[in-house]
Amino acid sequence: MGVWIRLDEMAGKDPQEICDVLLNYSVGAVFMLVPLPPTQDEIDTLKNLRSRLPPEVEVHVWLAVYSNARYLEANPQEEFQSTNGSIIKGWVNPTSMNYRVQLVGWLQQIAADLDPDGVFLDYFYVPFGPFDNETLREFSSFIGMNVSAPMLTSSENLLAMFLEWRNGKMLETLKAIKRETDADGLALSIFIRMVEESERLVSGQDVGRLAELADFLVPNSYHVLVKRDAGWVGACVQALKAEGAKSVWAGIQGYDISPIEVNRAVASAVEAGADGVVLFRFGTMTPQHWEQARLALLSRPNIYTWMIPIGAFMAALGTGIYLTARRKRKAAVQPEKEKRRKPARRR
């Protein structure tokens, strides 16, 4: 069981107190949000928590890839521009080569400072676009014709070509990150929007391609948020596995939700074959929420609990086969006995 934790949730708390909560409820993975670029004080706070966690607890650095207001304060020219020239605040243009280089550099430094076990990519998707002049010029050069935003949005074929080109840029960024995680032996995971496939592609998430590079995927399976029952969590797990995910950790809603619904969500994920669950988030989890999540995981059948009924079934099956065979042998012998008796009766 994992949990996402933010720096503001650590403020004013003794790191050992946080560790005690995590260990008390058998949390085996902590996803720590690292702002980009991080300050030295932020790194020191995270290192303090990291140093107190036992080796068996995995630490994944949690990066908000394309949602980065901090970076844009110093680089406003890379803000995401949608249709009609409107700026979508806080979102970075995913075609920016400069941002890709910065991401890799930050990741290298964070890995050196925090010695994590994995890297979790959040916000690895974008709004509709971008349609700024620089991006359009680059795309025009790629296809060999001048295009404008109105042309793209009014032509289904041109728009499909543009989205494929832009998604390819995002995939190149992911490959650059993957080279770093592979070099450091870190697990790479990605947060996946659970929406219609067409909508997901428009936002830059081609699950088949992402699954090839990620070690595990985490679906946004917050069932209460989208007004679904807990069974939807398991359906999300199965959907990503069907699309090629090597491993799936279900994202579990831990805010604006009752403890029993957390239990049902975790149980649904387990029954669907999830390889793990991640609770969002540390600051919203009460002792009751933690306990219900833990109980749902403890109810997961393992090989030993299955051996008893399977053993009993096999024993019963063996006994049934033996008795059936015995009856058949007796039935086969009976006519022969009758043949031997008949001559005796004639004499």
Q: Which two tokens stand for residue 117?
A: 């076990």
Q: Poorest-confidence range of 20-24, 155-159, 285-289, 338-342? A: 338-342
Interacting residues of 88 by C-beta distance below 8 A, sequence separation 6+: 79, 80, 81, 82, 127, 129
Provide the 8-state DSSP code for 16.
Answer: H
What percent of the chain is modeled with pLDDT above 90?
84
Question: What is the tens place of the pLDDT at every residue in 59-76?
Answer: 999 999 999 999 999 999
The yes-or-no verdict on residue 310 having pLDDT over 80 is no
pLDDT at residue 322, as a whole number = 44
* The pair of three-digit structure tokens given for residue 269, joined into one six-digit string: 């994920």
Q: Which of helix, strand or coil describes residue 290?
A: helix
How many CA atoms, within 13 angstroms, populate the side-chain half-sphere of residue 263? 14
Q: CA separation (Å) from 205 to 201, 288, 311?
A: 5, 35, 46
Q: Is the pLDDT of residue 328 over 70?
A: no
Q: Global pTM?
A: 0.86
